[in-house]
Homo-oligomer: A and B are copies of this chain.
């Protein structure tokens, strides 16, 4: 796999922050650097970088596919209200993997854990609207 300017820009855009951009969001970022880049090139390179193990694909929260530059396994918290998906910097517990390998006969090599709830901001909003009703 050649490292073209387009491909490098895509990789860097996803790695940049701890962020989980969709293809279109990556496109918007990369376009500032390479204005003529095609959306199809972004899609293609995202998938190729996943294939090469340089990016991960997020288990779909929401409609679009999202990508991940932080390769270390980690938990995600997802807000059902605003759609935010944030990383949690906490050592992951892998003990369940072994147990499930024995139970199912699968060979497990990764784990995707999303904690579903309300972010601090939406929590406030929801509590206020409850108070208004009662």
Contact = CB atoms under 8 A, between A and B. Distances in A.
Given A75-B100, A99-B90, A100-B88, A117 B113 contact: no
A52 to B, nearest CB: 15
Stoichiometry, copies per complex: 2
A49 interface: no
A35 interface: no
A115 B100 contact: yes
Interface residues of A, number: 34
Contact of A97 (B99, B106, B115): B115
Interface stretch (A23-31, A39-47, A118-126): A118-126
A51 to B, nearest CB: 12
Contact of A106 (B99, B101, B110, B115): B115
Interface in A46-103: 59-61, 75, 77, 79, 86, 88, 90, 93, 96-97, 99-101, 103
Contacts of A119: 105-106
Contacts of A86: 104
